[in-house]
Homo-oligomer: A and B are copies of this chain.
Amino acid sequence: MRYELHYWPQIQGRGEFVRLALEEAGADYVDVARRKGGMAKLQRLMEPKVSPRPPFAPPFLKTGALLIAQTANILLFLGPRHGLAPKGEAGRLWVHQLQLTVADLVTEAHDTHHPIAASLYYEDQKPEARRAAECFIRERMPKYLGYFESILAKGGKGSYLAGRTVSYADLSVFQVVEGLRYAFPKAMSALERKLPRVIALHDRIAARPNISAYLRSPRRIPFNQHGIFRHYAGLDAWQPL
């Protein structure tokens, strides 16, 4: 059965973590809102009168009668079905735990440019964004990425976050590296020396045939100033501690 992914059509955003899993799996899916009339479909499915279990926000995935929202929840569903999560419960919980940690990082990365409110323009919170970005770059970015580095250090060379095979958490860490490189190129350039395993993981994910083909395709939306990871030179002005 064909999956319907519902997400904002102009950005990578949180939907990108789902797109990467679907692409790696070679799954049959349609990115609904990128097609003509798709935004109306997305909005309709969010109405409590239409959906038995309406989502609070995109992304959400429709498969048959099932409508699943929350990025990590969608990946929890897709993982075991497409070989992107371990079969056993302990392994599945571990991969989900890593994904939820990625989700926390992603929220903090977003909030560097919108520390006061997502509903206000960046231009209305620039001084606050500078303070937030400084703390994020100096403390949080090294802490999160250092955590993933320490997990990878526990495995052998060429291992993944959950062992010998790739999981959706590995795809998500790839995406985090991509996003942080776009948003904070100077800070990441300084930090990457301390993250050899995270960067090697990123490179191995990028080289996987399905991911590599996806990244070169028009299905991959380029980073831009509307997504979660945004580049404002004024926010890339510190060095990680």
Residue positions of A touching B, CB distance < 8 A? 48, 52-56, 66, 68-70, 72-73, 76-77, 89-90, 93-94, 96-97, 100-101, 104, 107, 111, 115-117, 119-120, 125, 128, 131-132, 135-136, 139-140, 144, 147, 150-151, 153-154
Contacts and interface: CB of A to CB of B under 8 A. Distances in A.
Contacts of A154: 48, 52
Nearest to A101: B56
Given A97-B69, A107-B107, A150 B54 contact: yes
Contacts of A107: 104, 107
Contacts of A97: 53, 55, 68-70, 73
6 contacts: A72-B100, A77-B93, A115-B116, A115-B128, A120-B135, A125-B131
A187 B56 CA distance: 22
**What 9 A-B pairs come out closest when comparing CB atoms?**
A117-B135, A70-B100, A48-B150, A56-B101, A116-B131, A70-B97, A115-B115, A73-B97, A116-B132
B93 A68 contact: yes
A4 to B, nearest CB: 16
